[in-house]
A = this chain, B = another copy of it.
Amino acid sequence: MKTIRVGIVGGRGYVGGELLRLLLFHPRVEVTCVTSRRSAGEYVYREHPNLRKLTSLKFEDVNLSRIGDKCDVVFTAVPHGAAMDIVYECYEMGLRVIDLSADYRLKNPEDYKYWYGFEHKHPDLLEKSVYGLPELHRNEIRNARIVANPGCMACAAILALYPLLRELEVDRSRIVVDCKEGSSAGGAEVSRATHHPERSNVVRPYKVTEHRHTAEIEQELSAATGAPVRIAMSAHAVDMVRGILATCHVFLEEELDDERVLWKIYRKYYADEPFIRIVKEKRGISRLPDPKFVVGTNFCDVGFEYEKRTSRVVALAAVDNLMKGAAGQAVQNFNIMCGIEETCGLMYPGLHPI
């Protein structure tokens, strides 16, 4: 089988490092290039000490035409705004691109003004890009030239809500998505807010209204369920490094006889999904999704409970923000795009305890 040559633009951050971890050990991949302006010439293990003794790869400065020569597929892991042109140029060179920024996730160029405060420079490419959530768009991903990898919280929220909104009558304007996330989701840049003495022991509400991931959640769930959805989202920083839990509170317009209805709904959509586990137990140490149990893995654990008193379903999803929430998802998309077994290079089981 042919080895696929891949490049990583923006390899210094946490997402870039996670891509390296996965792709260096992927049996079908050769990483031919990883870029970092700031660390060009440096061994990658200096930024990602987990790779010490495992690779002699070095960071290169960004040179897109060289990347065009050396790569079949490019992963872009640069900040929002910075990816816009890079993806465009790679696309123009005929490369296939998996973009881990938000720059190609939204279909409506106007949304970039509202949510990100910039004018999109390549609005025509937006419709060509595919939102890279295999559970919703597997078929389109196969042939996509540009895959826009979902935001970490969006990924969790959509996967928690999708079956529910497809199958039940719910109050679509009062869906609450209350997220809790670890510090790695904020990236590798230091600030007072991420200084260990300040960032420890917090439950810090940091974006309780107007969270940008709202845009993609509403876009995807509205499209997938055939009717507009409004998401009331809030995010909190908690004291852990990796992981996201999305707690979604959904009010039903109908009464359920039984929680088993929910089991049936979730099984219908996810029973065959390789990276979704339904977690709902009556005993034991893991009864509902918890990011603790997905650290380092590509799993999205999904669970739910029904409260008749309030006509509410609480739908929960846990992901590792760097894996199913970013790099793992990207590799899953890569496998689909390249016709490789979808789980290839991704079946790491996680650690217990951690």
Chain A contacts to B: CB under 8 angstroms: 14, 17, 21, 24-25, 46-54, 171, 173-174, 176, 178, 180, 182-184, 188, 190-206, 208-210, 230-232, 234, 236, 238-243, 245, 247, 249, 251, 277, 279, 281, 284-293, 295-297, 299, 303, 305-307, 309-310, 312, 314, 316, 318, 347-354
- Also in contact, A296 and B349, with CB within 8 A (given A196-B241, A290-B205): no
Residue among A173, A231, A284, A349 having the largest count of chain B Cβ atoms under 10 Å: A349
Asked whether A310 lies within 8 Å of B50 as measured between CB atoms, the reply is no
* Beta-carbon contact of A242 and B353 below 8 Å: yes
The 8 closest A-B pairs by CB, nearest first: A197-B353, A209-B307, A49-B286, A196-B199, A50-B350, A50-B352, A183-B196, A203-B245
B residues in contact with A312, CB < 8 Å: 209, 232
A164 to chain B: closest CB distance in Å? Answer: 15
A297 to B, closest residue via Cβ: B50
Contacts of A279 in B (CB 8 A): 49, 52
> What are 19 residue pairs bridging A and B, where the CB atoms are less than 8 Å apart in the complex?
A21-B351, A52-B277, A178-B247, A180-B180, A188-B197, A190-B194, A201-B241, A201-B295, A204-B290, A204-B292, A205-B290, A209-B312, A232-B249, A234-B247, A236-B247, A238-B240, A239-B240, A241-B354, A354-B354
Please name all residues of chain B whose beta carbon is closer than 8 Å to the beta carbon of A287 when the two chains form the complex: 206
Residues A289 and B174 in contact, CB atoms below 8 Å apart? no
Contact among B53, B195, B208, B285 for A288, CB-based, below 8 A = B208
**Known interface pairs A180-B238, A230-B309, A242-B353; 10 further A-B residue pairs with C-beta atoms within 8 A, sorted by A's residue number:** A21-B352, A195-B195, A196-B199, A196-B241, A200-B200, A200-B292, A203-B240, A204-B288, A209-B310, A232-B310
